[in-house]
Structure 1
């Protein structure tokens, strides 16, 4: 096992050195083609949005609810029943 580990690390080391020696070839292949266009001029104005709006705050007229009947008896009856 020691010999195979030594050979594997030696092989991996050589691969690392070879990769460091030739980095420019890999980067040259990744470059795309360059397309150069002639200059042209666009004349005009930039249009800005003309919308204007105002949002009013909602009124805070909260009132408490008035219950006409009590639900305490119904809740107690439901709790006393078996769930299944």
Structure 2
């Protein structure tokens, strides 16, 4: 059992050292700060927008109900009596 606990302590210490030292070493190599300064540019002009105006009138919706005077009862009963397939 003693060797198992020593092994666990060594593995834990190695993991801790890797976590602490590893990121700092890679940051030093890859993290370079670059500063770019641009001069101010003034752009003058007009925003172009369409000049045309579209006016569409609504269509008149004058619908009335249609009263059907013929009965479809005969066609319905015939279709029910027929075989479907």
TM-score by shorter chain over 0.5: no
Larger radius of gyration: 2
Range class of TM-score, shorter chain? 0.3 to 0.5
TM-score by length of 2: 0.44
TM-score between both structures, scaled by the size of structure 1: 0.44
